[in-house]
Amino acid sequence: MKPAWPLDLRKRVPPGPPRPIRWTTDQFHHLGDLGVFEGRRAMLLDGVVLEEGQESPAHCCARGLVADFFYRAFPGCYLTQRTPLVLGSATALDPDIAVVSGNPRDYIAAHPTTAVFVTEVADFSVLFDTTTKAGLYATAGVADYWVVDVDGRQLFVFRDPVPLPAGLGTTAYRTRRTFGPADSVAPLAAPNSPVKVADLLP
């Protein structure tokens, strides 16, 4: 049995000019339960539903390569692929790869709200992943965020999240490093498990 629709449609909007409808994560996930986003790559960002195009074969390949590496680097971890990460009441992303604390049974009642590690694979979304998503993950306290740039054949590594000036209410990464195919890098949480960037690229 599907849960009740989380939006009270009887509530009237106060007088004023037209305004966009801002969705909550509960409403967004309810739409997903109803199959509205079946076969689509949808996300919720500040109440707005955004959609990415279908994964290219190269994108799928890189995601698989990253997952294979992290299963080895984090044995016994809870590693997710394109599983919701709820970053606020109106923001929910599905990172390509995330390592979260605990085990799957810890998230029966609610999706994770942060992660030990997140990787996004980018072919058409490099700018979005290295700016907007980087800010969201930093604000959520993700200490180690990687972006695998498929077309540019490089890896961006973001670390050291720090609050931005007072009043902005967000956080940014202090360091951003770029690694080429011949370089190796290890996750902060698995310093003895370096990977060669070329091994993450299709």
Domain spans, the chain: 55-200
Tell me the pLDDT tens digit for each residue of 114-163. 999 999 999 889 999 999 999 999 999 999 999 999 999 999 999 999 98
d(CA 65, CA 13): 48
pLDDT of 185 above 70: yes
Q: Report the pLDDT value the prediction gives residue 155, as an integer from 0 to 100.
A: 98
Q: What is the dihedral of CA 194, 196, 197, 202, to 10 degrees?
A: -120
Tell me what pLDDT residue 163 has. 84
**Residue 59 confidence class, pLDDT cut points 50, 70, 90:** very high
Can you read off the two tokens belonging to residue 48? 């707005």
pLDDT at residue 6 greater than cutoff 60: no
pLDDT of residue 8: 58
Tokens of 34: 């109803």
Per-residue pLDDT of 152-176, as tens digits, reads 999 999 999 998 776 666 789 999 9
55-200 CATH, one of 3.90.1570.10, 1.10.287.3510, 3.40.1000.10, 3.90.226.10: 3.90.1570.10
Mean pLDDT of 35-57: 87
Dihedral of the CA atoms 156, 56, 132, 29 (nearest 10)? -130
The pTM score is: 0.87
pLDDT at 1: 43
Cβ neighbour number for residue 21 with a 10 Å cutoff: 10
From 29-43, 51-65, 93-107, 170-184, the region with the lowest mean pLDDT: 29-43
